[in-house]
Every structure is written in C-alpha cells, then in structure tokens.
Amino acid sequence: MCTLCGPTDESKQSECEQIDERKQVNEKKNRRRRKKLWEIADCYHCSIIGACLSIADLKKFARKNKISLSTPQNQHSIHTHFVHQAGQHDDISKKMHKYLDNKFSRSIKYFAGAKTDEDLLDLWREARNNHAVAGPYWAVTTHPIASSDLQLEIFGEIHMLSHESVKENTNICRRLKEAEERADIFGEGLVELRTEGSIQLVQKNEQIRKLKQQLCESAGYLQQLVEARGRIHLLETGVEKENLYTTIKNLNRTCRVTEDKISSLERQNMHFREENSDLTMTVQDLQGDLADKQAECAALESLLQVSAPACEAKCAVCENNETCQCPGPDLCGRKVLYVGGQTGLLSQYKLLVENSGGNFIHHDGGKEDRRGKLPQMVSQADVVICPVNCVSHDACTKAKRFCKQQAKPFIPMRSASISSLAKSLMDVSTAIEIH
C-alpha cells in the first residue's frame, strides 16, 4: 500500500514506492545539509547579524552589492535592515549566507566532524573559553544536526555574553577615563621631570666637557713632562749632545750645498738676462730693418708706378720743361754719386737713377778707384748716396766729410739693395731743395 495513494495495482504501487524512496533520500540529504540563513528561525537573526558581522562588515557588504541604506550613519538602522533581510529568501540573503560561510570557513570545517549535540556543545564551550564566539556561533547555528534545544541554549549564552559585554565595555570605558586622567597627571609631572632633567643633563654635559678639556690639557702637560725628562736624561748621558753635533754638521753641509745651488742659479740667471738683452736688441734691429724694407718697398713701388699729375706739377716750374735740354722727370738731370755698393748691381743702380731722370756716377770706395778721386767726384755730384753695409768705413766717413765741406746732401743707406736706392732717390729732390 502506498502512503500517498492507498491501495493500488502493482504498477502504481511500484511507482509510489519509488516516490517514497526519493522522498526518504531527500530527507536524509536535508538532514546532512547545513541550514541556510533564511531557514533559521527569525528570532536568531538578530544575534547572528550582531555577533558575526560588525558594522564595518555590513557597510562593506552593502557597497559591494550596491545596497542602498536609508540612514548609513545610524548603526542600529543598518543592523535592523540586515536582520530583516536575513529572513528573506532572495538574492541578498543568499549573498549574506555565502559571505558568512567564506568569513568563517575554518570554524565550519572545525565543527563539521561533530555527530551529536553533545559534540557540538563541547566544541562550542571550548571555543568560547578561547574567546572565539562569532565563527563557532555561525557554525553551530547552521550545523545540520544541531537541535532546536541546542540552538536555544547557545542563543541564551550569546544573549548573556552581550549583557556581559555591555558591562565589560562600560567598565573598560570607566577605567580608560580614569587611566587618561592619571596619564594627564603623570604627563604634567613627566614634563616637569623632563624639563628639570634636561637642565641637569645640560649642566652635566658642560661639566663633562670641562673635565675632558682639563684631562686633555693634563695629558699634554704630562707628555711635555715626559719629553722634558727624556731630554734631560739624554743631556745628562751625553747622547743628546752628540745628536746635536751631528744635526749641526748635516745642516751646515745642507747650507753649503744650497749656497752652491744659489750661486749656480744666479749665474744662469745672469746668462739668461744677457741672452734676453741680446735677443731684445736683435728684435729691435730686425724691427728697424723691417720698417726700412717696408719704406724701401713703398718707394720702389712709387717709382715703378709714377703718377703723371705729380710729374707734370714738378716739370711745370722747371726752366728746361719742354725743351731739348730736359733730362727727364723727378731728378731733372741731377748727378747722383753712389759710393760703394755691390758690383753686380751697378747696372741696375744706373738704370734706376737714369729712369728717375738723373745721371749716375759711381766710386767703389777705394777698391779699384783711387780714394784721391773721391773729393773731385763729390764736387761734381749734386747728391752723394753711400750704403754703409757695403763700403769701407773710411770711404764712407770721407764722403760724408767732403759733402759737409761742400754743402752737398749726403744720404747714408742701411743696405746696398735696389729698394734702398729707390727710397733714397725719393728723398733726393727734397735734400737738394734744402741745400
């Protein structure tokens, strides 16, 4: 006979038996399955939420699941909201159950091995004595074999623990306030002690510094005393005297060596000064030669590039201008006596003088021409030119003296070059006009 349908035929009876078996299997599964949050009696939800989830946990859960709280600053309102939500079989209560399972997974595993209410009660009291309440309370409340009597008993203990917690919290707050008051008193005393201690510490440090300074000075004096005693001992034994003699000898030897070095350096310095003086004179001579060469080059270029207007101006006042007697521009037929010079350049000397409109007369300074002819040749010339580097000193001196006696221009040249002669020819007309 089927428990649901009563007397039936064999086929229906077999079907009903299968239904009964499935029902019994489901009941066994339900007995082995942990209770869900919404399956627990509503009277336990307040204690579960209060003991297992802090206000911070509830706010975090609300933010994560985008739950809007009417008064998010009111802790009692938040607690009440989730206590009411725990009894609803919806998506939020499922997420709350999952959140609690994840948070207290270790406690759930620890209580899973219990077979009876006595086992659960023993495990609960062990955890409570170790001051662990939240996780074990959730594990016992959702345990598949936990009876209603066991749940009620543990709920009572939780309820009393909450009263004790309030009392303990009140006592803690009172003791904390008293401790803060004592701390303020001690703090004031500590500040005074620190101030006084700081002053004393500064004073002690100053005393220590002075003592260290005195100690260093004493150590210095002691070292000086030891050294003085050592010197006295050496003087008394004669060792110091011998050392002094040796030192004096070494110093004398060093002084002699140093004096020799100083003398050598002074001689070198004198030599360098003489060389510097010679080099300075050489540089000055070279600078003078350079200036002369530049002037000679300019004169030579001027002669090679005669300006037509300048020649016309000079010839305009000449009485032989535009006559058959006009010898040429510049020198206007004046006789130039060249004393000395280089034999190989005589033809060029002559050509340069004649191109300048003058007549060239030469005396070699006494090499082949007789020196007695020099006065006569000076009297024939209008101007005398003498290269001082290419004629004898005697000939140059006599030519200068004869020019002075006869009131004729004498032009000495630094060299016997063509450029020097060109420069001198530029000065000839001016010299003739002056004389």
Q: Is 132 domain-assigned?
A: yes
Domain hosting 397: range is 308-434
Please provide the size of the chain in residues: 435
Question: What was the pLDDT predicted at 421?
Answer: 87
Q: Is 268 domain-assigned?
A: no
Q: Is residue 2 a contact partner of residue 20, using CB atoms and an 8 Å limit?
A: yes
For 341: left if phi > 0, alpha if psi spans -120 to 50, otherwise beta; the answer is left
Q: Is 222 domain-assigned?
A: no
Question: What was the pLDDT predicted at 430?
Answer: 61
| 9-22 tens-digit pLDDT | 566 567 656 655 66
Q: Is residue 136 a contact partner of residue 111, using CB atoms and an 8 Å limit?
A: yes
Question: What was the pLDDT predicted at 309?
Answer: 45
Question: What was the pLDDT predicted at 2?
Answer: 42
Q: Which of 156, 175, 194 is the last residue of a domain?
A: 175
- The CATH number given to whatever domain includes residue 388 is 3.40.50.10050
Q: Is 214 domain-assigned?
A: no
Question: What was the pLDDT predicted at 71?
Answer: 82
For 336, list phi and psi in degrees, rounded to 5: -115, 115
26 plus 169 within the same structural domain: yes
State how far the Cα of 435 lies from the Cα of 432, in Å rounded to an integer: 5
Q: Say how many domains are in the chain.
A: 2
Give the residue carrying structure tokens 């070494």: 250
Pull the structure tokens for residue 325: 């007697």
Q: Is 290 domain-assigned?
A: no
Q: What are the per-10-residue average pLDDT scores of the chain (435 residues)?
A: 47 63 52 85 90 90 88 88 90 92 92 90 89 89 90 87 77 83 82 85 90 87 85 72 80 89 88 86 79 64 48 53 51 87 89 89 80 87 90 88 91 88 78 53
Contacts of residue 413, defined as CB under 8 A and 6 or more positions apart, other chains included, come to 385, 386, 387, 388, 420, 421, 423, 424
Calculated CA dihedral for residues 9, 11, 17, 21, nearest 10 degrees: -170
16 plus 164 within the same structural domain: yes
Q: Is residue 421 a contact partner of residue 349, using CB atoms and an 8 Å limit?
A: yes
Question: What was the pLDDT predicted at 109?
Answer: 92
pTM: 0.37
| 313-329 tens-digit pLDDT | 555 555 655 554 544 44
Q: Three-class SS string for 377-394?
A: HHHHCCEEEEECCCCCHH
Q: Is 200 domain-assigned?
A: no
- CB-based burial label for 363 (10 Å; 0-12, 13-18, 19+): buried
Q: Which of 175, 209, 239 is the last residue of a domain?
A: 175
Question: What was the pLDDT predicted at 414?
Answer: 87
Q: Is 364 domain-assigned?
A: yes
Q: Is 82 domain-assigned?
A: yes
